[in-house]
Amino acid sequence: MPTQRTLCIIKPDAVEKKVQGSIIQRVLEEGFRIVAMQQVQLSRAQAEGFYAVHRDRPFFDELCTFMTRGPVVIAALERDDAVAHWRKVIGATDPAKADEGTIRKLYGANVGENATHGSDSPENGLIETAYFFPGHELL
């Protein structure tokens, strides 16, 4: 399995619930290396830029409002097969459809407030980690 990067965002709902520590512990237990990590309050422009691929979706405005309502914890994660592995750990986008034990099942409320983000492809893993952590490019 190739070493990959994926972007983890612990979203405002999870930070409000004070479960960011539990989620970071899970990251480590799942064998990820934390390449970089920061807690930030996203600006509207940062949220809109990050989710630009969704800008024509009906939920785009709601998504950007949610992502900027409080601090998020953003981490660049690395391990073998990082993208698929992290997506398995966080579970389906809709917490109601997520498997037992997944982060979204444990901490998500609904399809909008779903506790965590994970990149959807190895290419986007590199693009998304570089969006928030320029200077941490793979050598």
**Catalytic annotation, residues:** 117
The dihedral region occupied by 96, where left means phi > 0, alpha psi between -120 and 50, and beta the remainder, is alpha
Q: List the beta strands (DSSP E) in 41-90.
A: 72-80
# residues contacting ligand CMP (CB under 6 A): 9
Rounded CA separation 75/73 (Å):
7
Of these, 5, 26, 105, 117, which contacts ligand CMP (CB under 6 A)? Answer: 117
Tokens of 22: 């539990």
Residues 16-75 touching ligand CMP, rule: CB under 6 A, are 54, 59, 62-63
The reply on whether position 6 binds ligand CMP by CB under 6 A is: no
CB of 116 to ligand CMP, least distance (A): 8
The reply on whether position 111 binds ligand CMP by CB under 6 A is: yes
How far lies 105's CA from each of 13, 98, 101, 109, 132, in Å? 13, 5, 6, 8, 26
The reply on whether position 112 binds ligand CMP by CB under 6 A is: yes
Q: Note the residues at the interface with ligand CMP (CB under 6 A).
A: 54, 59, 62-63, 93, 111-112, 114, 117
